[in-house]
Structure 1
Amino acid sequence: MDSSPDDIIKDDIIKEISGIVRVYKNGRVQKLVGTDVIPAGLDPSSGVQSKDVLFSPNKTLSARLYIPKSTNSSTTKLPLLIYYHGGGFIIETAASPIYHNFLNLIASESNVVIVSVDYRTAPEHPVPTCYQDSWEAIKWVAQHVNGNGPEQWLNNYSDLGHVFFSGDSAGANIAHHMGIRVGSESIKLNLQGIILLHPYFWGKDRIGCESDKHPWTKAVRDLWLFVHPDTSGLDDPLINPEMDPKVADLGCSRVLVCVGEKDILKDRGWNYRTILKENGWKGVTEMWEDKGEDHVFFLYNPRAQNACTLRNRICTFINRIRAKA
């Protein structure tokens, strides 16, 4: 019996992460979601302005910058939030509608300047490329410490004495590792705090509510092995902070970890606080759990009560730390 066109297409697929990405025999990569983009510019509902800038030495990497409406009338510089989008290290960009809309709200409600990093993604650029790109962004931001860097928005509006890192899911994983690099390497940045939203951490052994029978366990496992072909496994320090000898080098004094009650990654978020404490980190970890919510719910329904409450928690965390400084 001859194969149908659909059968031929299926036979050509050599790897698939369900609902996220397919890789074909000829090398073509098909990303199934997270490919939509929205231009930067003025957000009429909040008054936040955004623009895209190139930041790498060879001008191939970009970030989207956000400044709140208050910068038009205030002479006081604002805290800087460096944000890393999620998407399992595979999908989404700094120009994705869900992130653009989310960060417009964060910039407006928390009154912060934001640098949203558009790091390169797998499988075209496997892990650890995302970490390397993210560190390049931090080094670029650090050029503005004395107010004479290449980007005037950062020179004019950002207070690099009050810098925060944040991200969701895979982006939260990146934010964590960037915090360790700040703490263990010499860089002119005053990192005040890190905000991890539903962080993507994992490990070889199941903990808490995790189960090998959970419908998402295989996907979470396969995702890591797909994006990092050279990994040492599920206890690689890049995915399991419990195995990282540098975890106590986290270069800030406060961390906020937000999790969702129904998220399979929830207990990894809770366990993160224990890992930091047991490894001798001297800072304070705050925890926040949204009841009844699943993974990164706040991106898809930003006007829901729990999403608004979570953003208010972020705002409080940033501005309380700044007020104490």
Structure 2
Amino acid sequence: MGTKAVCLMTACALLAWYIHASFSDFEQPWKMFLIHSLTKTSMFVATAFEKMNIVGFWEFYDILLQGQMTAPISNENITVIDTTVNDILVRYYVPKKKSQELKKALIYFHGGGISLGNIALIHYDTFARWTADRLDAVFIAPDYRKIPEHHHPTQWNDAYEFLKFFLQPETLAKYGIDPTRIGILGDSTGAGMATALIQQLMGDPEIPIKPKIQILIYPALQMVDTDLPSYRENEYGIMLNKDLAIRIIRDFLTSDESLKQDLKANQHIPIEYKHLLKFVNWSTLLPERFKKGHVYTNRIYGSSDIIEKFPGIIDPKINPLLANDSTLSLLPLTYILTCQHDLLRDDGVMYVSRLRRNGVQVFHEHVEKGFHGAFLSIIWPYNLDISLRLIDNLIIWLNENL
């Protein structure tokens, strides 16, 4: 046997060992290795290009995603319509099935770190088509302006203005929607946005129609504590690691580089606001199986002027875990998906605890072999069996509850 053949066999054996050792907690470990490698490579290139002033970090991803955009093409089952509301793209998926009854509706806020893409991305578009067809429901997906050009509260304002427009009797009548059978959902940062929007609109007299249910797919619910057990365990996680999460938070709030280090060190809450930490105190809000020997340590507080410079750090509109109990008690039936190997896992689990303590009925699906992005890994080469199961589970739940 030649030297080259021996080297090739050795390399293959080492690769197989690495994949088994590193990805044994996931289904389809070879596919997970591919996903992790592509994600890490793109992040490395984006960072390098930014440092060389070739192209900005988020701009690089925008270029990559251009080839994954879809046109609003209707088919035999679904009519797809692109329109704008307040100069923001909204895509409607309307089933063609004839029915004497008014239709259910889902309003979907997509994820992507408040920075990437829109509903036209192929995985969002595919999910929307499947869901609209199988539920015989109108699926509505409004966009919002993105970071780094637009900071908070631009995105929240865009989304809330759309809800104020859409959740009116005359608008629902136009699409044949039953006002008593509307759900609001989102994934990742979109789920965080949906959470805060629902908290606001449930008590807003200007919006007469309220959602029947909310669906939160691995939601991003706070930036007050960046040292949760899930942050520690998934610091170098699949799809979403701590560096990327900190960057998203920083860019969401400001262009000021100084905030990044404070967030990384978890030293961005001044002592004057320590009373808010009870809302994200994982030592009391996480079930024992999620603590796994982690120790809750006393915080090192930030400088007194940090909130004056960056008030979004404690704004419930982007920290819905900071909402008070009276707000939470008004919320509708809730579906929350969390994944074990996800930086945002503990955000969702803590919200489950807080909602249940306030009398809200919650269906919590926790996926031990799941990771951030698992729900919509449905397009080659990112397509995974776990994603199809999770979507099936959600559609079954929606059929029973919406």
| TM-score calculated relative to the size of structure 2 | 0.65
- In 2, distance between residues paired with 1:308 and 1:177? 28
Q: 2:179 aligns with which of 160, 172, 175?
A: 160
- In 1, distance between residues paired with 2:200 and 2:178? 20
Query: Which structure has the highest strand share of the two?
Result: 1
Q: Which runs of 5+ in 1 are unaligned?
A: 1-6, 23-28
3-state SS in 2 of match to 1:315 = helix
User: 1:284 maps to which residue?
Assistant: 361
1:208 partner letter: P
Q: 1:192 aligns with which of 212, 219, 222?
A: 212
Q: 2:232 aligns with which of 199, 204, 211?
A: 211
Confirm whether residue 177 of structure 1 aligns to residue 224 of structure 2: no
> Conserved in 2, the CA contact under 8 Å of 1:93 and 1:118?
yes
User: 1:267 maps to which residue?
Assistant: 346
Q: Give the direction of change, closer, same or farther, for the CA distance of 1:32–1:292 in structure 2 (3 Å limit).
A: farther
What CA RMSD, in Å, does the superposition of the two structures yield over aligned residues? 2.8
Q: Give the direction of change, closer, same or farther, for the CA distance of 1:247–1:226 in structure 2 (3 Å limit).
A: farther
Q: Give the direction of change, closer, same or farther, for the CA distance of 1:210–1:38 in structure 2 (3 Å limit).
A: same
Q: Give the direction of change, closer, same or farther, for the CA distance of 1:48–1:270 in structure 2 (3 Å limit).
A: same
Q: CA deviation at 1:12?
A: 3.2
Q: Give the direction of change, closer, same or farther, for the CA distance of 1:161–1:214 in structure 2 (3 Å limit).
A: same
Q: Give the direction of change, closer, same or farther, for the CA distance of 1:182–1:49 in structure 2 (3 Å limit).
A: same
Question: In the comparison of the two structures, how many residue pairs are matched?
Answer: 291
User: 1:61 maps to which residue?
Assistant: 88
Q: Which runs of 5+ in 2 are unaligned?
A: 1-47, 255-308
Confirm whether residue 201 of structure 1 aligns to residue 221 of structure 2: yes
User: 1:25 maps to which residue?
Assistant: none
3-state SS in 2 of match to 1:286 = strand
Q: Give the direction of change, closer, same or farther, for the CA distance of 1:285–1:9 in structure 2 (3 Å limit).
A: closer
Match runs of 1:1-325 below 5 Å: 10-12=51-53, 16=57, 21=58, 31=62, 33-35=64-66, 36-43=68-75, 47-56=77-86, 60-70=87-97, 73-143=98-168, 145=169, 148-149=170-171, 155-186=174-205, 187-202=207-222, 203-211=224-232, 214-215=235-236, 216-229=241-254, 231-232=310-311, 235-245=314-324, 248-249=327-328, 251-278=330-357, 280=358, 282-301=359-378, 304-322=384-402
Q: CA deviation at 1:89?
A: 0.4
Q: CA deviation at 1:40?
A: 0.7
Q: Give the direction of change, closer, same or farther, for the CA distance of 1:141–1:238 in structure 2 (3 Å limit).
A: closer
3-state SS in 2 of match to 1:195 = strand
Q: Give the direction of change, closer, same or farther, for the CA distance of 1:127–1:310 in structure 2 (3 Å limit).
A: same
> Conserved in 2, the CA contact under 8 Å of 1:248 and 1:276?
no
- Measured against aligned partners, the alpha-carbon deviations of 1:130-151 in whole angstroms (never above 9, x if no partner) come to 11111111112123x1xx33x8
Q: Give the direction of change, closer, same or farther, for the CA distance of 1:51–1:14 in structure 2 (3 Å limit).
A: closer
- In 2, distance between residues paired with 1:126 and 1:209? 26
> Conserved in 1, the CA contact under 8 Å of 2:62 and 2:117?
no
Q: Give the direction of change, closer, same or farther, for the CA distance of 1:250–1:38 in structure 2 (3 Å limit).
A: farther
- In 2, distance between residues paired with 1:249 and 1:108? 32
- Measured against aligned partners, the alpha-carbon deviations of 1:156-212 in whole angstroms (never above 9, x if no partner) come to 431122111001011101110111111121112131010001112343252233218
Q: CA deviation at 1:32?
A: 5.0
> Conserved in 2, the CA contact under 8 Å of 1:197 and 1:296?
no
> Conserved in 2, the CA contact under 8 Å of 1:290 and 1:306?
no
- In 1, distance between residues paired with 2:329 and 2:155? 19
> Conserved in 1, the CA contact under 8 Å of 2:192 and 2:320?
no
Q: CA deviation at 1:90?
A: 0.5
Query: Which structure has the highest helix share of the two?
Result: 2
1:222 partner letter: R
